[in-house]
Chain A
Amino acid sequence: MLDRCKVDVAKLEQTRALANATMEDKRLSLSLSRMTVVQGRPRLRDRVTSVLKTEERKIQVRAQSTGTGTHTRDS
Chain B
Amino acid sequence: MDANSTLQAMLGVGKKYSIDVTDLRVLVLRVITLSVKFVSRDELWTSRFADGFVDWKLVKQLTNKNVLGGCGEWLGMLEFCHWDDLVKSESEIATAYPPLATLRRNMKECSLDTGDSEAWTPVCRALLLLLVQGLPCLSALEMLTCAQFKRNTRTGCVELLAKQVHRLTCSDTPSRSAHR
Contacts and interface: CB of A to CB of B under 8 A. Distances in A.
Interface SS of chain B: helix, strand, loop or mixed?
A: helix
A2 B33 contact: yes
B85 A6 contact: yes
Interface centre among B32, B80, B84, B127 (most CB of A within 10 A): B80
A8 interface: yes
Interface centre among A5, A9, A15 (most CB of B within 10 A): A5
Interface of A: 1-2, 4-9, 11-13, 15-16, 18-19
Interface string B74-94: 000000111111100000000
A12 B80 contact: yes
A20 to B, nearest CB: 11
Contact of B80 (A1, A11, A19): A11
Contact of B3 (A1, A7, A9, A15): A15
Interface stretch (B23-31, B50-58, B154-162, B172-180): B23-31
Interface residues of B, number: 24
Contacts, number: 54
B146 interface: no
B25 A9 contact: yes
B82 A8 contact: yes
Contact of A1 (B7, B83, B84): B83
Contacts of B81: 5-8
Contacts of A11: 3, 80
B33 A16 contact: no
B8 interface: yes
